[in-house]
Structure 1
Amino acid sequence: MTVLFDAVLFDCDGVLVDSESITNRVLRDMLNEAGWPITTQECLQQFIGKTVRSQSARIEQHTGKPFTEGWLQQFYARRNVALTAELVAIDGALAAVKSVHDTLGGRIACASGADRAKVEMQLAKVGLAPYFEGRVFSGHETPCSKPFPDVYLVAAAAVHVDPARCLVIEDTLTGVQAGVAAGATVWAYFPAHQGHADASDLLDAGASRVFDAMGDLPKLMLAATTSGQGLSR
């Protein structure tokens, strides 16, 4: 059987690992401590899918304090302590990744906007690292991070697949925009508890499908192959 996609490129946070609420809590606490009384929901909406560094001007505006490398490194350290203690895989992600990895002969990659140390630590903690060995890519290491396509273009090149034959799995507007800009088909993972976007926003950004259970990914890919539908172009 000919597969519809030749490779699958996964985002990490919120797609493979349930990290968003943990990281957001640490960031909220540190912003509160710095003088910005931002709420949990406001923090999620304003920072999801973005690097903290890219929001330095906003942080300075609301805290009245300079954004420093020392503060950022403290955030990374506190975040990593919390992630190490609490992180789990997205429900169904382990089985889905294994299935897709086997079906596509290993042509999968993880393309994240987060720093490499965080991504690799998270994948190792939840048991996903073996499936992405040598194929983990960080937007911190490309000229531009999401919503620009750079990290997905690098990932597609690494697995030797034309981006147009790649399926990108994302959960944020920023990530969907990056995948679309790369020329890939984007499916948006949108679980019922999602609190930082609307499914319609993800579709408007260019996602060709929204699904709510990561464990369903292999059968959705099979259904798309059988029907010949699913490619956005």
Structure 2
Amino acid sequence: MVIFDCDGVLVGGENLSTALMGEEARKYGWNITNAEANKLFSGGELAKIGEKIAAHTGRKLPGNWAAMMEGRIVSLMRKEAKTVDGAEEMLRDVIDLGLPIRVGSNSSEAEMEAKFARTGLDEILEEERIHSGRDLNMPKPRPDIYLYAAAEEGIPPANCLVLEDSDAGVEAARKAGMACVLLRPFDKPAPQWPGLLRISHLDQFVPLLRKILASQSQA
């Protein structure tokens, strides 16, 4: 089975979410740029991000801050989410290979529903195969969300391949005992995990899968 992360792998626009968080941080007195916010907050839990902002500024955030930000992000994604270049074709090609697919993301189910509806990926991805680390309280880098997806499919973790773009996601896959492909430009640093595979564009993923399946058949 192939398990996909969402943000940065299937749907772009996480920088829009972190820009919202940067705006909030500045409101409370943290002089942070959107680029810095993206680096600090990308892939993080909203509650933890709120804690970071409160700790840095010495200001108390509203008790419903995380829920409020969640609503703003969902509204934003309904209008602004975009498919990562090549994602739709790649998903269809993986399905054509006969491999089951699932999504395991730190985004909430509401966020992913908005993102997939906006981009049209909801026509490919089945709702019951989309899993939220946030809603299940299994955020990466914990491996639980990937192990949950494997258990739901009835496939051993060793027979799963994860496509990720974040260090936290790579760590989650490693802890889950799953193979992992990192989608990231080759000139960018990456975790030093033996066996970690890398691609720089989604159009490289299915050819890599074909090579893996061919080598397994020969073995």
1:210-229 aligned at under 5 Å gives the runs 210-228=198-216
User: How many angstroms apart in 1 are the aligned matches of 2:24 and 2:49?
Assistant: 14
Is 1:187 aligned with 2:181? yes
Q: Which letter does structure 1 place at the counterpart of 2:10?
A: L
Structure 2 residue runs of 5 or longer lacking an equivalent are none
Deviations along 1:9-63, one digit per CA (max 9) or x if unpaired, are 0000111001211111111111111211111222122112211212333211122
Is 1:9 aligned with 2:3? yes
**What is the aligned counterpart of 2:62 among 39, 54, 68?**
68
Partner of 1:25: 19
Partner of 1:140: 134
State how many pairs are aligned: 216
* Cα deviation, residue 206, structure 1: 5.6
Q: Secondary structure of 1:215's match?
A: helix
Question: Kindly, what percent of the aligned residue pairs are identical?
Answer: 30
> CA separation of 1:207/1:66 partners in 2, compared to 1, >3 Å: closer, same or farther?
farther
* 8 Å Cα contact 1:49-1:173 kept in structure 2: no
**What is the aligned counterpart of 1:174 among 148, 168, 174?**
168
User: How many angstroms apart in 1 are the aligned matches of 2:115 and 2:196?
Assistant: 28
Q: What is the TM-score with the length of structure 2 in the denominator? A: 0.90
Deviations along 1:150-173, one digit per CA (max 9) or x if unpaired, are 000011111221111111000111
Q: Secondary structure of 2:43's match?
A: coil
* Cα deviation, residue 76, structure 1: 2.0
Partner of 2:94: 100
Which 10-residue stretch deviates more, 79-88 or 146-155?
79-88
Partner of 1:36: 30
> CA separation of 1:26/1:55 partners in 2, compared to 1, >3 Å: closer, same or farther?
closer
* Cα deviation, residue 143, structure 1: 4.4
* Cα deviation, residue 217, structure 1: 1.2
Q: Secondary structure of 1:168's match?
A: strand
> CA separation of 1:150/1:222 partners in 2, compared to 1, >3 Å: closer, same or farther?
same
Q: Which letter does structure 2 place at the counterpart of 1:117?
A: A
Moved segments of 4+, more than 4 Å? none
Partner of 2:118: 125
> CA separation of 1:88/1:155 partners in 2, compared to 1, >3 Å: closer, same or farther?
same
* 8 Å Cα contact 1:60-1:67 kept in structure 2: yes
Deviations along 1:72-95, one digit per CA (max 9) or x if unpaired, are 233223222322222110000000
Deviations along 1:85-133, one digit per CA (max 9) or x if unpaired, are 221100000000111122125x100000111110122112211123321
> CA separation of 1:206/1:124 partners in 2, compared to 1, >3 Å: closer, same or farther?
farther
Which has the higher relative contact order, 1 or 2, with Cα contacts under 8 A spaced 6 or more apart?
Answer: 1
